[in-house]
Structure 1
Amino acid sequence: MNESPRSNALRETVESGEAALGVLDNTYSPTMVEFLGELGLDFVWLDLEHAGPSPSDGPSLEHLLRAAERSGVEALVRLPEADPALVRKALDAGARNLFVSRIETAEEVRRAVRAARFRYDGEAGDRGMASPRASRWGTAEDYVDVEDAETVVGATIENPTAIENIEEILDVPELGFVFAGPLDISVALGYPGEPTHPEVEDAVEEIETAALDADVPLGGLGFGPDDVSEKIDRGYRIINVGTATGAVKQSVTGWLDGIER
């Protein structure tokens, strides 16, 4: 029998009180995921809400996860909704870190977290038992205990209803983190593309305060090095610092701007 799956380095970083930094791979390329991992990031964000493969496309997700594992970086997978079936599918493919979008209530979050557990809050969980890739096709030792200990499930807070219910959401047992979504909040409040609008900033601050008071790890977007540093000082523990295509754009335009033709 094979040894238990490796521990979750993202979970360990967050639980230690340090900040985990990552980049969104919006090319959905295994090569790019593997390369980003070689650069020393804590995680690569795979956003299955806005683009990329279908969240139910197990083989495509497996290729991205293998690339992350090859270079020793954690994959952070966002699902488009808190559908327990999608949670189970992603975990069986080998994901360890998930967060769900478009939630509004604590019950939605609870269903997603329960779907990720064989045992949940002192009762039976809702994760299916099979022999998927996550179990090394049935050869991993201590599969149930390791999966329950290492899997992290979070929730994006990105609309007024979720903010109204933030205290109940933060009280969901075994919730791994909440991720403040200023861009979607800007849309929901009627200021699309204006994350610095005062009403949007007030909403994000409400999320921040509630999460920190509840001692639930807080995640979010970083808008430049100074903003990332400020967010770390404020208590953020999961921060996305940019995108793969944004990095390419910055490099290529810098090269072209420096050439005289």
Structure 2
Amino acid sequence: MPNQFKRTLKEGKQQIGIWSSIPSPFVTELLAGSGYDWILLDTEHAPAGVPQMIEQLRAADAARPGAGGRTSAVVRPAWNDAVLIKQYLDIGAQTLLLPFVQNAEEAHYAIAATRYPPLGTRGVSGAMRASNFGRNASYLHCAHEDTCLLVQVETREALAEIEGIARLDGIDGIFIGPSDLSASMGHPGDSKHPEVDAAICDAIVRIRACGKAPGILMADAARASKYLQLGAQFVAVAMDVGALRMSIEHSLRQFR
């Protein structure tokens, strides 16, 4: 299946997403039908793994398209690990967001893990979900064409390596992790700190100047709009856990 998310990034267009940490196919289907361009399905900070993710990907595929069309699923493995990358690609994930990539060497490792030999090091299986259990004979030869690789820069040190990471063929986008970045810069829990905000703005401009797509998670509407205006292309503007918590607590406060 063509990767619409990847193609839209290459066209330079912006995509608005929602961040999902609730490991439930029911919730995934609900969110994927809400009209967002993409949905992040998390396993780094969510209690989910490969078997659970199969069901979430099925739910995303089954969701009725929202007002903006079909929602693309982006899977975040727990780490930049070749085994995890292989497993998530094998079950059908087309777009991966890999956390805590610090430099070009680590980014190159990630690229290799998403490609079959001779282009990379991805392990070969002839009968996995991604190839329709072996029915798609061309999968081994062209899978990388629709694999979208996004890497996270989320420390002061990683920001200094943006150009080196971005120049690598195979990196489709670079995601700025605001929470880890603020902690790395000495402002844990305060991504609004002027120093952190300035670093994010600078990173977005530099990533875009390198010809790659910048991305970020930002639930603050004003700041999300600011980053979009600077050139961010894939921005998650809502989180399911946070939205649920705030909504139910707001409802309770009306009666207590």
Scaled by the length of structure 2, the TM-score of the pair is 0.90
- Provide the rounded CA distance (Å) in 1 between the counterparts of 2:216 and 2:195: 17
Q: 2:11 aligns with which of 16, 40, 44?
A: 16
Aligned residue type for 1:115: A
Report the Cα offset of residue 233 of structure 1: 1.6
Where does residue 143 of structure 1 map in the other structure? 139
Unpaired runs of at least 5, structure 2 = 64-69
Unpaired runs of at least 5, structure 1 = 1-5
Q: SS at the partner of 1:23?
A: strand
Contact kept? 1:81, 1:103, Cα under 8 Å: no
Q: 1:179 aligns with which of 172, 175, 189?
A: 175
Where does residue 104 of structure 2 map in the other structure? 106
Contact kept? 2:175, 2:216, Cα under 8 Å: yes
Report the Cα offset of residue 209 of structure 1: 2.3
Q: What is the alpha-carbon root mean square deviation over aligned residues? A: 1.8
Contact kept? 1:20, 1:238, Cα under 8 Å: yes
- Provide the rounded CA distance (Å) in 2 between the counterparts of 1:227 and 1:68: 28
Matched, 1:91 2:83: no
Matched, 1:165 2:161: yes
Where does residue 185 of structure 2 map in the other structure? 189
Where does residue 73 of structure 1 map in the other structure? 71
What do the CA deviations read for 1:211-251 (whole angstroms, capped 9, x no partner)?
01101100002233333222222111111111112222343
Where does residue 240 of structure 1 map in the other structure? 236
- Provide the rounded CA distance (Å) in 2 between the counterparts of 1:25 and 1:126: 30
- Provide the rounded CA distance (Å) in 2 between the counterparts of 1:50 and 1:41: 21
Report the Cα offset of residue 145 of structure 1: 4.1
Matched, 1:63 2:61: no
- Provide the rounded CA distance (Å) in 1 between the counterparts of 2:189 and 2:226: 21
- Provide the rounded CA distance (Å) in 2 between the counterparts of 1:140 and 1:162: 38
- Provide the rounded CA distance (Å) in 2 between the counterparts of 1:179 and 1:167: 13
Counting aligned pairs with the same residue, the percent is 29
Aligned residue type for 1:129: V
- Provide the rounded CA distance (Å) in 2 between the counterparts of 1:88 and 1:184: 26
- Provide the rounded CA distance (Å) in 2 between the counterparts of 1:118 and 1:194: 41
Structure 1 runs of 4+ aligned residues shifted over 6 Å read none
Report the Cα offset of residue 24 of structure 1: 1.4
Where does residue 29 of structure 1 map in the other structure? 24
Report the Cα offset of residue 103 of structure 1: 1.8
Aligned residue type for 2:192: T
